[in-house]
């Protein structure tokens, strides 16, 4: 039986069915190195806790009102 090539959307559906979630986070190189070192040392449980906390914060941020969003303060540009 041959495997058929799936579109990115179909691959995404498969991951959702398996309970997999894609999560993008921004961490410093130092923090990334620390997480990787913890994982290599066998501290998967601690890494999982950190990832869960990041996920919780992300979800909480998405539920917040738009008035909490960061708004840049720009100076007016005078028109001549």
In a domain, 78, yes or no: no
* pLDDT block averages, 10 residues each, the chain of length 80: 58 64 79 84 83 78 60 81
pTM above 0.85, yes or no: no
In a domain, 36, yes or no: yes
Residue 27 CA: distances (Å) to CA of 20, 30, 33, 54: 21, 8, 10, 11
In a domain, 45, yes or no: yes
Nearest alpha carbon to residue 49 among 38, 63, 33: 38
In a domain, 6, yes or no: no
In a domain, 71, yes or no: no
Domain that holds residue 30: 23-56
Measured CA to CA, the distance from residue 51 to residue 42 in angstroms comes to 15
In a domain, 66, yes or no: no
Measured CA to CA, the distance from residue 67 to residue 23 in angstroms comes to 24
Note the pLDDT of residue 42: 85
Is the Cβ–Cβ distance between 11 and 20 less than 8 Å? no
Note the pLDDT of residue 1: 45
């Amino acid at each position: 039986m041959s495997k058929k090539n799936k579109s990115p959307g179909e691959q995404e559906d498969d991951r959702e069915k398996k309970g997999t979630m894609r999560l993008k986070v921004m961490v410093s190189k130092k923090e990334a190195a620390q997480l990787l070192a913890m994982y290599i040392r066998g501290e998967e449980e601690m890494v999982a806790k950190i990832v869960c906390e990041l996920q919780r914060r992300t979800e909480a941020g998405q539920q917040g009102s738009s008035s909490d969003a960061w708004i840049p303060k720009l100076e007016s540009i005078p028109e001549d």
